[in-house]
Amino acid sequence: AISCARSITGEGAGFSQVLGLLRTVIALQQRYIPGINNWQTPKKEQLPYDINSWKASSFYFPTESRTRYPNADGSKHSAAYSCLTQDSYCHLVLSEYALTNPDEDIRLNGFLASSELHLVLVNGEDEAELQQKLLQLASLLPVNKGHDDLKLMANQQYQQYLTTSTKKYSIALLAESNEELTKEIQLAQQGVKNVFVNLSQAELGKTTSSTSTQWKTPKGSYFSAEPAATSAENSNNVCFMYPGIGATYVGLGRDLFQLFPEIYSDVANLADDIGSSLKDTLLNPRSISRVDFKALKQRDLDLRGNLADIAEAGVGFACVFSKIFTKVFKLNADFATGYSMGEVSMYAALGCWQQPGLMSARLANSATFNERLCGDLLTLREHWHLPLAKSNTEMTKAPIWETYTIKATLAQVEAVCIGETRVYCTIINTPDSVLLAGFPADCLRVIKKLGVRAMALNMANAIHSPPAKAEYDDMVALYTMAVNARINTKLYSSSCYLPVPQLSKAIAHSIAKCLCDRVDFPRLVKTLYNNGARVFIEMGPGRSLCSWVDKTLAHENKQSEHKQQHNHQEVTQVKDGSNKTSVSVPVNAKGVSDELTYFRAIAKLVSHGVKLDLNSLFYGSIVMTRKVLQASDR
């Protein structure tokens, strides 16, 4: 990678060169490759060789900063810094310093604690106390004008929160300046008032949606008058949800290790070559020119066509997202589940397998996921008696599988699929939204009969269909691995809609059955909810699962209200002491910075009463004292 310090420091003669050297040292120590601000493409007249020679070389210009993963051979990383002296160039070659024990080599940086974005917490037992504290907070703002003052205020509020964390309600405010915090407080004062009015209406027996007892702003400030988390000492009623493979995108997780350096060693130890497992070169394209929007979109589409690659990347990033919560925020799940191939991610991320890294080689060499259910789709061709791809005829070049998302119920789809042998409902996402897959022309015929719109997902893999059952035994062999000691999290599978025993064969058969059978996600959500899950955190890219959880539970609430009204029963609050409120929380959003997304997620979780360790948001620095350095050397 070739970067340029002056894209950050500007032209400042010797001062810029010193800053450039410091930037190189920090990047090497913090394990990231610095990007070049506003880079587009090199000018042809400035290149010593023709541009095609550059494209064919191993050199590239990073347009965004990205994580530098360990070398597969275990060697140390080096960085060369070049600067212009009075009449020549000076070159410095630096090598990283690493501790003997990699597990102790945690290179904290205080990134979140030094962020311009701040989390300001306010808690209280009732509306009156909350409003009083908001007024007190607002009264302090005119005195404090700088960023350091805002940081100090956020820290003071956090200290108060720690000493009064048992209070019933918490407001989480997000702001980057005093002016912005003033605006958020003003919005909170009115928003909290409205929320408690709606809560009073609900307590009087007047139906109200769960969103009317929540308040949020575009910035991400949040308050809920009905916290979803339980007050039990060792439980938050939290469920980790692992999305399927289709959510992976170019640029996924680019900043996560810089935001959360605590997890670097743990993730690196998951595989011999973690960069390869996380598909670094696929998700972070190497190029001498900035990749344009059209090219990025095509790369995203190409990712979906390689089931083995995105399956491996999905598993790897599931481990990353999970480690952030379990190691940094000290939050463990009471429940967990996976959507489609997300079930594989669940077992790997929660430490069920002793050596999840073994899956890399297995997936790379798997005929099932490289050519039978993906790629050439040999299993389908055999099942449907189609020419094999190697025959290279017009029939073999035409697509034989496509997946469409449509608005319809399972009953509606089954009614029009009578007699269709090459069309399958592979996944039910919500009560009125499903995935239809199979031979493209046959699928389009069914869609036309239904009279609905359809969107092709460009995913040519035939899992969750009857033909996939031919690969069942191979899947069992692929996912049979030695397991660790039993964990406390209850692992729910769409193979049986029950917790899966944490035994090697049970897990392998559960995954194989899940990938062969249709996924009924609403049934999975309702099962988890009925067994106590209330806080659903999506451990992966996007917020599709969160959206489907919300729609499924909203549909259930409407069904329940309809039954009560039909039976002439009064709609009242539940009196058995159980909490019926639920919340879904995404932790990654394409096009939104990871930093902002996590602050928003934390704001939501805190207001819903989830117990988290938030120290990394308030304390930390890249500067280490001599005492700390000496201790690390020992």
Domain with 121 in it: what CATH number? Answer: 3.30.70
Task: Using alpha carbons, select from 285, 268, 296, 253 the residue that is nearest to residue 541.
Answer: 253
Verify that 120 and 166 share a domain, yes or no: yes
Verify that 157 and 186 share a domain, yes or no: yes
Do residues 105 and 98 lie in contact, with contact meaning Cβ atoms separated by under 8 Å?
yes
- What does the pLDDT average to over 370-394? 84
The answer to the question of residue 633 being in a domain is no
For residue 75, pLDDT over 60 is answered with yes
Tokens found for residue 133? 């504290």
Task: Say if pTM beats, i.e. exceeds, 0.85.
Answer: yes
3-state secondary structure 363-406: HHCCHHHHHHCCCCCHHHHHHHCCCCHHHCCHHHHCCCCEEEEE
**What pLDDT, on a 0 to 100 scale, did the predictor assign at position 573?**
40
The answer to the question of residue 360 being in a domain is no
- Domain around 129: 113-227+609-618
Distance CA 55, CA 71 (A): 23
- What does the pLDDT average to over 40-69? 79
Do residues 610 and 236 lie in contact, with contact meaning Cβ atoms separated by under 8 Å?
yes
The band of 298, judged by pLDDT with boundaries at 50, 70 and 90, is confident
Tokens found for residue 323? 């480690």
Q: Identify the residue whose tokens are 């409003």.
A: 131
Verify that 74 and 160 share a domain, yes or no: no
For residue 571, pLDDT over 50 is answered with no
Which of 58, 75, 98 terminates a domain? The answer is: 98
Tokens found for residue 217? 């702003």
Q: Is 109 helix (H, G, I), strand (E, B) or coil?
A: coil
Residues 6+ apart with CB under 8 A from 131: 189, 192, 193
How is the chain split among helix, strand and coil, in percent rounded to 5? Answer: 45, 15, 40
CA distances 565 to 119, 397, 558, 559, 570, Å, are: 43, 57, 10, 10, 7
More confident residue, 290 or 552: 552
Distance CA 221, CA 383 (A): 53
For residue 521, pLDDT over 50 is answered with yes
Do residues 337 and 251 lie in contact, with contact meaning Cβ atoms separated by under 8 Å?
no
> What confidence tens digit (pLDDT) does each residue in 339-350 have?
999 999 999 999
**What pLDDT, on a 0 to 100 scale, did the predictor assign at position 193?**
95
The band of 577, judged by pLDDT with boundaries at 50, 70 and 90, is very low
**What pLDDT, on a 0 to 100 scale, did the predictor assign at position 548?**
97
Verify that 33 and 78 share a domain, yes or no: yes
The band of 144, judged by pLDDT with boundaries at 50, 70 and 90, is low
How crowded is residue 487: how many other Cβ atoms within 10 Å of its Cβ? 15
**What pLDDT, on a 0 to 100 scale, did the predictor assign at position 22?**
87
The answer to the question of residue 451 being in a domain is no
Tokens found for residue 214? 């929540």
Verify that 214 and 176 share a domain, yes or no: yes
How do strand 222-224 and strand 214-216 relate by DSSP bridges?
A: antiparallel
**What pLDDT, on a 0 to 100 scale, did the predictor assign at position 130?**
97
Q: Is 426 helix (H, G, I), strand (E, B) or coil?
A: strand
Which of 38, 66, 98 terminates a domain? The answer is: 98
More confident residue, 315 or 11: 315
For residue 7, pLDDT over 80 is answered with no
The answer to the question of residue 336 being in a domain is no
As a whole number, the mean pLDDT across the chain is 88
Verify that 73 and 168 share a domain, yes or no: no
3-state secondary structure 306-350: CHHHHHHHHHHHHHHHHHHHHHHCCCCCCEEEECCCHHHHHHHHC
- What does the pLDDT average to over 501-509? 97
Tokens found for residue 543? 């917020």
- What does the pLDDT average to over 106-126? 93
- Please report, for the domain that includes residue 32, its CATH number: 3.40.47.10
**What pLDDT, on a 0 to 100 scale, did the predictor assign at position 146?**
63
More confident residue, 26 or 574: 26
Verify that 78 and 117 share a domain, yes or no: no
Tokens found for residue 210? 């769960």
- What does the pLDDT average to over 610-621? 93
The band of 574, judged by pLDDT with boundaries at 50, 70 and 90, is very low
The answer to the question of residue 357 being in a domain is no
**What pLDDT, on a 0 to 100 scale, did the predictor assign at position 40?**
85
How crowded is residue 608: how many other Cβ atoms within 10 Å of its Cβ? 26
The answer to the question of residue 217 being in a domain is yes
> What confidence tens digit (pLDDT) does each residue in 412-458 have?
999 999 999 999 999 999 999 999 999 999 999 999 999 999 999 98
How crowded is residue 410: how many other Cβ atoms within 10 Å of its Cβ? 15
The answer to the question of residue 214 being in a domain is yes
- What does the pLDDT average to over 576-580? 54
More confident residue, 62 or 520: 520
Instruction: Kindly compute the dihedral angle of the four CA atoms of residues 626, 630, 631, 634, in this order, to the nearest 10 degrees.
Output: 170
Do residues 32 and 230 lie in contact, with contact meaning Cβ atoms separated by under 8 Å?
no
Do residues 221 and 317 lie in contact, with contact meaning Cβ atoms separated by under 8 Å?
no
∠ CA 530-531-534, nearest 5°, is: 80
The answer to the question of residue 120 being in a domain is yes
For residue 127, pLDDT over 80 is answered with yes
**What pLDDT, on a 0 to 100 scale, did the predictor assign at position 256?**
95
- What does the pLDDT average to over 550-563? 84
**What pLDDT, on a 0 to 100 scale, did the predictor assign at position 188?**
97
How crowded is residue 55: how many other Cβ atoms within 10 Å of its Cβ? 13
For residue 482, pLDDT over 50 is answered with yes
Verify that 174 and 75 share a domain, yes or no: no
Task: Using alpha carbons, select from 70, 266, 119, 181 the residue that is nearest to residue 604.
Answer: 119
Verify that 206 and 126 share a domain, yes or no: yes
**What pLDDT, on a 0 to 100 scale, did the predictor assign at position 402?**
95
The dihedrals phi and psi of 492, each to the nearest 5 degrees, come to -95, 140
How many domains is the chain built from? 2
The dihedrals phi and psi of 609, each to the nearest 5 degrees, come to 85, 15
Residue 569, class by beta-carbon neighbours within 10 Å (0-12 exposed, 13-18 middle, 19+ buried)? Answer: exposed
Q: Output 155-163 pairs: Cβ under 8 A, ≥24 positions apart.
A: 155/618, 157/120, 157/121, 157/122, 158/119, 158/121, 158/614, 158/617, 158/618, 160/121, 160/123, 161/121, 161/123
Verify that 12 and 81 share a domain, yes or no: yes
Tokens found for residue 183? 């605006």
Distance CA 310, CA 246 (A): 8
Verify that 150 and 215 share a domain, yes or no: yes
Tokens found for residue 198? 């709606």
- Residue 268: which H helix or E strand, with range? helix 264-268
Distance CA 409, CA 492 (A): 24
**What pLDDT, on a 0 to 100 scale, did the predictor assign at position 232?**
64
Q: Identify the residue whose tokens are 């190189």.
A: 24
Distance CA 583, CA 604 (A): 9
**Choice among 358-372, 408-422, 551-565 with the minimum mean pLDDT:** 551-565
Distance CA 65, CA 187 (A): 35
Do residues 261 and 556 lie in contact, with contact meaning Cβ atoms separated by under 8 Å?
no
DSSP letters of 499-538?
EPPS-HHHHHHHHHHHHHSPEEHHHHHHHHHHTT--EEEE
The dihedrals phi and psi of 25, each to the nearest 5 degrees, come to -60, -45
CA 528 to chain centre: 20
Which of 98, 125, 155 terminates a domain? The answer is: 98
Verify that 222 and 160 share a domain, yes or no: yes
How crowded is residue 552: how many other Cβ atoms within 10 Å of its Cβ? 22
**What pLDDT, on a 0 to 100 scale, did the predictor assign at position 568?**
53
**What pLDDT, on a 0 to 100 scale, did the predictor assign at position 564?**
63
